Structure 1
């Protein structure tokens, strides 16, 4: 490890929308895609949960 290692740009551990991707390897880009796909799935599950809760509430108060 040289004294110049601290001068290298640090790669962020999480993805920031709009960040510079030019310093990332193909494997790092694939890992970010997987991370984003799992986050999309998590968001879609939350949308489905909220939508089903809303539908249940609408059905409860429907006369």
Structure 2
């Protein structure tokens, strides 16, 4: 029943506000790429949600 608690937690690839002192330029570039991918994913989801809301609003306006 509590087997889920025994699983190892995935390592965070980046935490906002973390200390960057000991990261190499390559590691920083990897994190920048990761964050840019996440931004693109968030923007795509936002566009999809905004689009469906606009469709719903237009449907109710036309009646």
TM-score (norm 1): 0.77
Show the counterpart of 1:61.
60
**Stretches of 4+ aligned residues off by more than 2 angstroms:** none
Gaps of 5+ in 2: 1-10
For 2:31, the equivalent position in structure 1 comes to 32
Give me the TM-score of the superposition, normalised by structure 2: 0.77
Aligned residues: 52
Higher relative contact order (CA 8 A, sep 6+): 2
User: CA deviation digits over 1:2-53, x for unaligned, max 9?
Assistant: xxxxxxxxxx651100000011111000000000000000000011000000
Q: RMSD of the alignment, in Å?
A: 1.2
Distance 1:36 1:18 in 2: 13
Larger Rg: 1
